[in-house]
A = this chain, B = another copy of it.
Amino acid sequence: MKTSHIHIITPIITRGIRSEEDTKPYLRPDLKVTYSLLDIGPATIESELDEALAVPDTIAKAIAAEQAGCDAIIIDCMGDPGLNACREAVTIPVIGPCQTALHIGSMLGGKFSFITVLDRLRPMISHLVSSYGLTANYASFAAVNVPVLDIESAMEELTQGLISESIKAVEIDHAGAIILGCTGFLGCAEAITAGLQAKGINVPVIDPIPLAIHIADAMIKTGLSHSKTTYPLPGKKKRLGFDIPGFSQR
């Protein structure tokens, strides 16, 4: 059985907030996962402006990953920054953890709630949901209002916040699935599930990165990738100031 090589691009410049340990518990022998961070871009993604600055180097990293022989790419951010542009640039599957989680959450629970770091992301997520065609399944949005770089230090308090927002999402907004709305919440799902079960609530809590890894592998194993009719290769042209290997022209 051929090994699936999945490359995860964490689209920020901050070293040390994603390590190889993070995804180890979710792997199989025939799954190999590698990682990259950005060289140019924002420290964290907490606005549309941050997201815009993350995309150019994310594209470059995606092209590099394909050239290095990877089988699929995951963009490690729940805003799916650069998803469409990367899909134009490469032919191997590019997986957006937000898109993936919203679709799988719809499948498992009918309606989903999205619980994330900051209230200000509400309009951004609302646009993603509508551009993915999933508005009919969107139960609600909630935020625990913790900046991304404080996630690790505030983990306990954060988990309590996620549990209480998840309970409200199910009881008030009738969500049938909880989407953890920041890939930095990696590893929290178990505690939230337990917190919900203590209230007699049994809904899937989706940790987007482990899910994205296995969905990426499912694409590889079934030979599926995104449509090149929907995401056609960009033409060659001058693109000053960016090094986009293969697509730039002098």
Report the count of interface residues on A (CB-CB < 8 A): 95
Q: Does A52 contact B (CB under 8 A)?
A: yes
Given A28-B1, A214-B222, A225-B204, do A230 and B49 touch, yes or no (CB 8 Å)?
A: no
**For A123, what are the chain B residues with a Cβ–Cβ distance below 8 Å?**
84, 110, 176, 230-231
CA distance A207 to B46 in the complex (A): 33
Taking a contact as CB atoms under 8 Å apart, the answer to whether B176 and A221 are in contact is: no
**For A39, what are the chain B residues with a Cβ–Cβ distance below 8 Å?**
240-241
Binds B, one of A134-142, A151-159, A180-188: A134-142
A224 contacts which of B110, B202, B211 (Cβ < 8 Å)? B211
Taking a contact as CB atoms under 8 Å apart, the answer to whether B88 and A239 are in contact is: no
Taking a contact as CB atoms under 8 Å apart, the answer to whether B85 and A106 are in contact is: no
Taking a contact as CB atoms under 8 Å apart, the answer to whether A177 and B50 are in contact is: no
**For A211, what are the chain B residues with a Cβ–Cβ distance below 8 Å?**
218, 222, 224
**For A214, what are the chain B residues with a Cβ–Cβ distance below 8 Å?**
217-218, 221-222
Taking a contact as CB atoms under 8 Å apart, the answer to whether A131 and B132 are in contact is: no
Taking a contact as CB atoms under 8 Å apart, the answer to whether A46 and B235 are in contact is: yes
Can you list 28 pairs linking A and B with CB atoms under 8 Å apart?
Answer: A13-B238, A14-B238, A26-B222, A28-B30, A40-B240, A41-B239, A42-B239, A42-B240, A46-B237, A47-B232, A47-B235, A48-B85, A49-B59, A53-B239, A57-B241, A103-B104, A106-B133, A108-B219, A108-B224, A108-B227, A109-B227, A110-B123, A110-B126, A110-B227, A111-B133, A123-B231, A127-B131, A202-B229
- In the A-B complex, list the 9 residue pairs whose CB atoms are closest, starting with the nearest: A40-B241, A214-B218, A133-B136, A176-B230, A202-B228, A109-B227, A133-B137, A47-B234, A176-B227
